[in-house]
Amino acid sequence: MKKLMTGVVGGFALALMAGTAMAEDTTLTIATVNNGDMIRMQKYTDDFTAANPGIKLNWVTLEENDLRQKVTKDISTKGGQYDVLTIGMYETPIWGKKGWLVPLAGIDDPKDILPAVAGGLSVDGKLYAAPFYGESSFVMYRKDLMAKAGLKMSDTPTWPEIIAAADKMTDRAAGINGICLRGKAGWGENMAFLGTMANSFGARWFDEKWHPQFDTPEWKAAITTYLKVMKDDGPAGASGNGFSENLALFQSGKCGMWADATAAGSFVIDAKASKNAADVGFTIAPDAGFGKRANWLWAWALAIPAGSKKVDAAQKFIGWATSKHYGELIAAKEGWANVPPGTRTSLYKNPEYLKVPFAAMTLASMNAADPMHPTAKPVPYTGIQFVAIPEFAGIGTKVGEIFSSALAGQISADDALKQAQDYTTAEMTKAGYIK
């Protein structure tokens, strides 16, 4: 027993010592998502620490949903666990308005940031998060399959054109699906795509008085078109497919077209991972004659929580990570295709960067997105593939589940729209938007 006690006490002392020894090394704790660009940044932090010898960095890398959950818990209790947070365009305006974030200073040439992105990350003209990389969505397609079908992709495609092309390219015997679209439930999964598709059909989430709009003909047209084209030309089991699954299908040559994030561009032209890397073309997202295209706007951005006690050092770090200098550093070490895209106008004026196959189309897609006016009719919210209110994450996920089960054939389009309308109305009434 004596030995046991000594062991326990010794173990505790050891653990404590290890904890303190590590703690002394660190000053800034940075919570970040495990996406490619963020992981790359961790490799090049020597550049920052060499210029700022007093500051050391401690990375907490997490999966997007885990990150969102942890960061939200911490910031809402002012726990101060993190000094720099990686958040998106959805959280920034909500948290900025609540006073949970510190306004940013010391950003390298703030006027150079793409206006749509800067607008989505500001509250009352103050920037609360600096964009690290931004993305929109576009259509990736197989040029060889288009040629085989005797078609040429338009530079400004419409939904009927896309559907006609999907019909022609589909070759079930050869395992080729005309089109691959997201079906996995989640506000950041199928609803990101369906929200933008609905915008292009003239639909909106809410009218000016926050009444849900799923009972309108615009939503019905969008959803029935989506379900039909997925049934005719989509892959089997599409209701479980998100970004990663569709990427795998496209890379293995099983999709004629794929409408998804511009961030996928670098993956589909990567000859090591993609079977048909040389045959991939890019075009802007389609419209349906309502003046809005089905493309979204998203940015992963760096922000400082109000609970942080190291605001100055955090400002310096964000300034470095989002600077033009950082872009040049990555270009020199890893090539222009790996520079974080979609944040700065100057990057798209760089002739070297414009040689990257998807660069011009990314910029065109981002410029075509307007978070203040996402659809033809006026809306009381900002955001294209989301609605920037705290209740949206819950509503979006539930509605995503409903549409996903419609895609799986468990309920009809009409039932799905009715359920979505009823659920959203109940939630918005409970939250006090509908009086």
Partner 1 sequence: MARKQSTRRTVAITILAWFIGLLMFFPILWTAVAAFKSESDAYTLPQNMLSTPWTLENFGIVQERSDYFRYVFNTVIIAVLSTLLGLLFAVPAAWSMAFAPRTTPSSTISGWGWLAIVFSCGLIAAGVLYANGWHPQNAVVGFLLLLLCIVPPTAWVWTRATTDTLLWMLSTKMMPPAGALIAIYLMFNRNGLIFKDWGWINLSEYNLIDSFWGMVPLAMLLNLPIIIWMLYTYFKEIPVEILEAARMDGASLWNEIVRVLTPMALPGIASTCLLNLILAWNEAFWSLNLTNKYAAPLSFFISEYSSPEGQFWAKLSAASLMAIVPILIVGWFSQKQLVRGLTFGAVK
Site of interaction with partner 1 (CB under 8 A): 1, 4, 7-8, 11-12, 14-16, 18-19, 22-23, 29, 31, 33-36, 39, 58-66, 69-70, 73-74, 77-81, 188-189, 242-245, 247-248, 251-252, 261, 263, 267, 273-274, 307
Query: Quick one: 182 or 204, whose CB is closer to partner 1?
Result: 182
Distance CA 208, CA 425 (A): 14
To partner 1, the closest distance from the beta carbon of 67 in angstroms equals 10
Query: Quick one: 252 or 412, whose CB is closer to partner 1?
Result: 252
- For every residue of the chain, which 3-state class applies, written as one string? CHHHHHHHHHHHHHHHHHHHHHHHCCCEEEEEECCHHHHHHHHCCHHHHHHCCCCCEEEEEECHHHHHHHHHHHHHCCCCCCCEEEECCCHHHHHHHHCCECCCCCCCCHHHECHHHHHHCEECCEECCEEEEEEEEEEEEEHHHHHHCCCCCCCCCEHHHHHHHHHHHCEHHHCEEEEECCCCCCCCCHHHHHHHHHHHCCCCCECCCCCECCCCHHHHHHHHHHHHHHHHHCCCCHHHCCHHHHHHHHHCCCEEEEEEEHHHHHHHCCCCCCCCHHHEEEEECCECCCCCECCCEEEEEEECECCCCCHHHHHHHHHHHCCHHHHHHHHHHHCHHHCCCCCECHHHHCHHHHCCCCHHHHHHHHHCCCCCCCCCCCCCCCCCCCCCCCCHHHHHHHHHHHHHHHHCCCCCHHHHHHHHHHHHHHHHHHCCCCC
Question: Backbone phi, then psi, for 6, in 5-degree steps?
Answer: -60, -40
Query: Quick one: 63 or 312, whose CB is closer to partner 1?
Result: 63
To partner 1, the closest distance from the beta carbon of 178 in angstroms equals 18
Query: Quick one: 154 or 244, whose CB is closer to partner 1?
Result: 244
To partner 1, the closest distance from the beta carbon of 218 in angstroms equals 28
Query: Quick one: 66 or 352, whose CB is closer to partner 1?
Result: 66
Query: Quick one: 70 or 325, whose CB is closer to partner 1?
Result: 70
To partner 1, the closest distance from the beta carbon of 109 in angstroms equals 27
To partner 1, the closest distance from the beta carbon of 390 in angstroms equals 16
Q: Which residues pair with 30 in a beta bridge?
A: 59, 84
Pair 382, 120: CB distance under 8 Å: yes
To partner 1, the closest distance from the beta carbon of 154 in angstroms equals 28
CA-to-CA separations, 313 to 43, 84, 310, in angstroms, rounded = 19, 10, 6
To partner 1, the closest distance from the beta carbon of 194 in angstroms equals 17
To partner 1, the closest distance from the beta carbon of 19 in angstroms equals 5
To partner 1, the closest distance from the beta carbon of 210 in angstroms equals 28
Q: Which residues pair with 261 in a beta bridge?
A: 137
Distance CA 66, CA 64 (A): 6
Query: Quick one: 104 or 303, whose CB is closer to partner 1?
Result: 303
To partner 1, the closest distance from the beta carbon of 159 in angstroms equals 26
Query: Quick one: 136 or 213, whose CB is closer to partner 1?
Result: 136
Query: Quick one: 3 or 209, whose CB is closer to partner 1?
Result: 3
Query: Quick one: 251 or 295, whose CB is closer to partner 1?
Result: 251
